[in-house]
């Protein structure tokens, strides 16, 4: 029964991820998109990162080849404020797997992601999933500046909470799914 419940949740979870849109920055000047993308991480990381922007067709286009293994994009969810992200190679694999609807990430080591401008999630009945945003009564919540370890994490095994309402500022997001990851509320510009 538990296995069936996990499978059903994974299908809903993947559908929610695959529905994410990168169209809010579409049509914005390339220079503006580059600046927003680089704002996701500290300058010593983003200056040497690969930069992707949103093309006229709404798809990502590489405009600068990086040298440090990180990739920055100006947004991952078209909202009223851009939510740029900068990820290392394993994180880029994790994010691409999520956005393309794969049932689980294929990276073999944890990834690192920076979101200095914060991001968004939807909550309903104490649960956070990408699919929640399509449910009646879901509440959109703005995440503060943070960085993530994209690995699988388990709140019970790690002793960390699975909700962001923690006094520690660290929690396991999407707990119990293949895309569980560690959220750390700390401005990436303060990470050395």
CB 71 within 8 A of CB 54: no
Residue 11: which pLDDT band, with cuts at 50, 70 and 90?
A: very low
Reference 165, options 190, 188, 139, 187; nearest CA is 139
Residue 103: which pLDDT band, with cuts at 50, 70 and 90?
A: very high
Residue 15: which pLDDT band, with cuts at 50, 70 and 90?
A: very low
pLDDT in tens, 76-91: 877 778 899 999 999 9
CB 147 within 8 A of CB 169: no
Read off the pTM.
0.82
The pLDDT of residue 52: 95
pLDDT higher for 173 or 147? 147
The pLDDT of residue 151: 85
The pLDDT of residue 23: 55
- What whole-number distance in Å separates Cα of residue 59 and Cα of residue 90? 21
The pLDDT of residue 4: 34
Residue that has been written with the tokens 């930069």 in this structure: 51
Read off the pLDDT of each residue in 26-48 and give the average, rounded to a whole number.
Answer: 93
- What whole-number distance in Å separates Cα of residue 175 and Cα of residue 153? 7
Residue that has been written with the tokens 């849109």 in this structure: 21
The pLDDT of residue 14: 40
pLDDT higher for 103 or 141? 103
Q: Where are the beta strands (DSSP E) in 11-116?
A: 50-54, 60-64, 71-73, 85-87, 111-115
């Amino acid at each position: 029964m538990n296995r069936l419940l996990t499978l059903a949740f994974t299908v809903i979870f993947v559908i929610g991820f695959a529905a994410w849109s990168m169209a809010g920055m579409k049509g914005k000047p390339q220079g503006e998109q580059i600046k927003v993308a680089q704002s996701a991480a500290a300058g010593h990381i983003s200056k040497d990162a690969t930069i992707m922007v949103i093309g006229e067709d709404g798809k990502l286009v590489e405009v600068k080849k990086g040298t440090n293994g990180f990739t920055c994009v100006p947004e991952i969810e078209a909202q009223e404020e851009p939510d740029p992200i900068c990820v290392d190679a394993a994180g880029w694999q994790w994010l691409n797997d999520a956005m393309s609807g794969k049932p689980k990430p294929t990276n073999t080591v944890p990834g690192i992601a920076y979101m200095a401008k914060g991001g968004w999630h939807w909550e309903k009945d104490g649960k956070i999933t990408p699919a929640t945003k399509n449910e009646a009564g879901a509440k959109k919540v703005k995440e503060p500046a943070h960085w993530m370890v994209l690995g699988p994490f388990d709140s019970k095994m790690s002793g960390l909470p699975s909700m962001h309402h923690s006094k520690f500022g660290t929690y396991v997001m999407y707990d119990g799914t293949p895309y569980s990851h560690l959220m750390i509320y700390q401005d990436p510009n303060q990470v050395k």
